[in-house]
Amino acid sequence: MVRLVTRATRWRHRESRQVWLIVLALVIAICAGAIAVPAKRSDLLCVVIGLVAIGFDVTGRQQRRRERATLAARPVALSSDDLPADIIELIAADKKIQAIVRYRELTGAGLREAKAVIDSAVREG
């Protein structure tokens, strides 16, 4: 059990699935300890609750880190004044949906944001 704990505590970046597998392995080991030493069950229950809380904390941090990386990798949104020529041509040809799709491809913007930019370009143009 000591070997399992030392392996689990050595920190390096892990996937969420790996974190939960480590937590599960530790919980199983603690349950075995609770069976062997019934007097320590309440203490071991607190340890299990702590491990689950740590698992949620670690996976939450990983998710927030991935979200920040996704936002940082996303190109800057263009205003309706800075639209590329191909999008302007699509708007002029009355192909609004294709213009929205092209805008999303270029900027990585969401549907609502892209539609708002194209709609404002249609109103201006």
**pLDDT, tens digit (0-9, with 9 covering 90-100), for 42-54:** 888 888 888 888 8
- Residue of 42, 3, 116 whose CA lies nearest to 107: 116
Contact between 16 and 62 under an 8 Å Cβ cutoff? The reply is: yes
The structure's pTM equals 0.47
Highest mean pLDDT out of 7-11, 49-53, 66-70: 49-53
Question: What is the pLDDT at residue 46?
Answer: 87
Report the mean per-residue pLDDT for the chain: 80
